[in-house]
Amino acid sequence: MNIQLKFIWDYLRMERRDRFVFISVPNLLDKHYQAIGAKYENYWYMVESPGAGSHSLNVHEYLHSIVNSMVQARYNEQSEKLNKYFEAGKDLPLASSYGHPVTYTYECLVRALDIRIRVLLEDTPSITARCEGRVEYLTNNGLTLVQPFYDLLDEYEQSDKNFEHFLPVMLNMLEDYGKGN
């Protein structure tokens, strides 16, 4: 977990803002591939069903603790553009759990970041190919912002800004839905 945490915060170019004690809780009664991250006081609980975790940091759920508030703070600035992506994907299978445009947006951004971090951490052609296939699958099945966000992470990586300062730039660079999508 320490390697993953360091990599996440280095990638975001930000000082770590929490000092969570991480607790992994297996949830053997839930369906496969389900997970939640829950903060309570200084504890971060990773509740995972079979297949959802790898007995290390659940990067996806942890990223929500960082990204959600950033998206909420910036959403209104680009809501017209972001709402079009939401409308295009909301009735497709993978988007059904994300019924609000802001929730939908941060889920797409977290998924793009999670996949990009995995590609960079594991750094093998087979993982890269599998992850890029996953980006395409998620985008085509309702999470229409995953591919555009994933592509814009390249712009972020070439910038010198931290992720919090780059997010408004990223949202501004996001093409209107239908142009190139």
Query: For residue 44, with 0-12 CB atoms within 10 Å meaning exposed, 13-18 middle and 19 or more buried, which class applies?
Result: buried
The whole-number pLDDT of residue 181 equals 57
Rounded-to-integer distance, Cα 128 and Cα 154, Å: 14
User: How is residue 41 written in tokens?
Assistant: 């006081």
Model pTM score: 0.88
Contact 45, 69 (CB under 8 A): no
The whole-number pLDDT of residue 48 equals 73
The whole-number pLDDT of residue 47 equals 74
The whole-number pLDDT of residue 33 equals 62
The whole-number pLDDT of residue 28 equals 72
The whole-number pLDDT of residue 19 equals 83
Question: Which is nearest to 85 in space by CA: 102, 68, 73?
Answer: 102
Query: Coil, strand, or helix at residue 20?
Result: coil
Which residues of the chain have a pLDDT value below 50?
none
Query: For residue 53, with 0-12 CB atoms within 10 Å meaning exposed, 13-18 middle and 19 or more buried, which class applies?
Result: buried
Euclidean distance between the first and final Cα of the chain, in Å? 36
pLDDT tens string 133-147: 999 999 999 999 999
